[in-house]
Amino acid sequence: MSKIGVLGGTFDPLHYGHLRAAEVARDALSLDRVLFVPAANPPHKQGVTVTDVGARVDMLELGLAGEAEFELCRAEIERGGPSYTIETLDELKRQERGAELWFITGSDAFLEIRTWRDWEALLTRYSFAVHERPGVGIDAAAAVVPESYRERVVFLTREMLNISSTEIRRLARAKRSIRFLVPQAVDDYVRRNHLYQ
């Protein structure tokens, strides 16, 4: 049976922290593939300006090019409207017939899990791999859900890169370098298109 990782996010922009999170999960859980799923209209970022989905997808395509095990998944974009993880995983479950799905998140995102649509069903139906992000310890993240909902949650403790899209946008806005935080092609794209100005 194939094992597929699913990394949902805004990817505004894709950076090496995302790629490393996918790679460590792939390595730790022996995943065959990892799907990167950009949110169409992130329900948790209402009120915050998110870069046009076309540009976010372009950057994902550039950053994932040539990575055989990493794939862009357009499920949430094609569905449109707010992107709910439960809908995405249910859809992938149907498409990927029988594959074992692993949703990959950082501990910061997992902290909010109880605000996600149908979070109990989500944690009952699917396996989760949670990375420790700087600033949010695994224990704090684990504590947000009762133990009975943690049976399918694996907390990964390998060191993550301290990189965030927020910091990259801040640097770009200040016309500072974002080189080596994002793939070279993403850096070029940001500069060519004057993103985050």
Q: Does 164 bind ligand ATP (CB under 6 A)?
A: yes
Binding span for ligand ATP by CB under 6 A among 56-64, 80-88, 102-110, 178-186: 102-110
x/- mask, ligand ATP, residues 44-73, rule CB under 6 A, reads ------------------------------
Considering only CA atoms, which of 68, 51, 66 is closest in space to residue 14? 51
Task: Select the span of 3-11, 76-84, 93-101, 113-121 touching ligand ATP (CB under 6 A).
Answer: 3-11
Is 12 one of the binding residues for ligand ATP (CB under 6 A)?
A: yes
Q: Residue 21 interacts with ligand ATP (CB under 6 A)?
A: yes
Which of residues 88 and 105 has its CB atom nearest to ligand ATP in the complex? Answer: 105
Q: Which helix (H) or strand (E) holds 127?
A: strand 127-131
Cα–Cα–Cα angle for 155, 111, 118, rounded to 5 degrees: 95
Q: Least distance (Å) from ligand ATP to the CB of residue 182?
A: 11
What residues from 130 to 149 belong to the interface with ligand ATP (CB under 6 A)? 131, 133
The CA distance from 22 to 175, in Å, is: 29
Q: Does 10 bind ligand ATP (CB under 6 A)?
A: yes
Angstrom CA distances, 11 to 43, 99, 119, 155, 188, stand at 14, 25, 22, 22, 16
From CA 174, how far away is CA 73, in angstroms rounded?
31
Residues 70, 40: contact at Cβ < 8 Å?
no
Minimum distance from residue 110 beta carbon to ligand ATP (Å): 8
Pick from 11, 36, 126, 189: which binds ligand ATP (CB under 6 A)?
Answer: 11
Report the distance separating Cα 173 and Cα 102, nearest Å.
Answer: 35
CA distance 170 to 181: 13
Binding test (CB under 6 A) with ligand ATP, winner from 4, 34, 163, 182: 163
Say which residues have a Cβ less than 8 Å from residue 46's Cβ, sequence separation at least 6. none
What's the CA gap between 189 and 91, in Å, rounded?
31
Residue 96 near ligand ATP by CB under 6 A: no
- 83 binds ligand ATP per the rule CB under 6 A: no
Give contact residues for ligand ATP (rule: CB under 6 A). Answer: 9-12, 17-18, 21, 105-106, 108-109, 131, 133, 160-161, 163-166
